[in-house]
Amino acid sequence: MRITVSTETCVGAGQCVLSAPDVFDQDDDGVVEVLAAEPDAQQAEAVSLAEQLCPSGAITVQV
């Protein structure tokens, strides 16, 4: 699993951080930051949920 994000698309809703706090964070402006670009299998469900919940579609997960 590999995660990429579009910081230009991010609207700072924070759903990713709520869904997968070990994988995502937000900078001082509320823009998504990836803490673990290649999370382990235990985080897969949370990461997939974060991708689905992102209102701007800024998160892309490749399996």
**Number of structural domains, the chain?**
1
Is 63 among the domain residues? no
- Strands 59-62, 24-26: parallel, antiparallel or unpaired by DSSP? unpaired
Sequence-separated (6 or more) residues with CB below 8 Å from residue 1: 38, 39, 41, 44, 47, 61, 62, 63
Tell me, what CATH number does 28's domain have?
A: 3.30.70.20
What pLDDT, on a 0 to 100 scale, did the predictor assign at position 25? Answer: 98
Is 42 among the domain residues? yes
What pLDDT, on a 0 to 100 scale, did the predictor assign at position 59? Answer: 98
Q: Are 34 and 60 in contact (CB under 8 A)?
A: no
DSSP for 15-47, please give it. Answer: HHHHH-TTTEEE-TTS-EEES-SS--GGGHHHH
pTM: 0.94
Q: What is the pLDDT of residues 6-57, one digit of tens each?
A: 999 999 999 999 999 999 999 999 999 999 999 999 999 999 999 999 999 9
Collapsing DSSP states into helix, strand and coil, what is residue 48?
helix
